[in-house]
Amino acid sequence: MTVRPFTSHAAVHAGVARVTLAGELDLDTAFHVRDNVAACLAEQPTEIRLDLTGVSFCDCSGMNALLAARSCALRAGVGLRVEGIGTQLARLLSLIGADGVLTGRASSATAVPAPCAAEADTRRPEVAMAVVDAPTRSLPA
């Protein structure tokens, strides 16, 4: 198995911010999501697009960072669209009952955005990230 280094890139053009992530989105790299989204929000875009096409793996820290990014965008009144969700991330979203939260599909429950965690540091476990309330459900046996 070849492990590719994590990369992230953010750019704002004509009011649309694009954050491109590639590699493993985990405890060591999740802070890049927060940093890039915060930098984009400082430019006051009308929309943020997260391109996850190159993300090969996402753990719960990465998922938390993605949900916190959504919350920050919502609080700023900026639309957030996630593109390129792979099968592993789609399964993780489904398992936690949040498959419609990042994909934009209709959800049976409406989530209230948590406070923006732009200042939280995901590299330090003592600093908590904001979590979006997701509906709970029973997992198949």
Average pLDDT, integer, range 48-55: 95
126-137 pLDDT, tens per residue?
333 344 444 445
9-39 pLDDT, tens per residue?
999 999 999 999 999 999 999 999 999 999 9
Give the distance from CA 92 to its chain's centroid: 13
Residue with tokens 């409406």: 110
Residue with tokens 């793996």: 57
82-110 pLDDT, tens per residue?
999 999 999 998 998 888 888 765 333 33
- Burial degree of 29 (CB within 10 A; 0-12, 13-18, 19+): buried
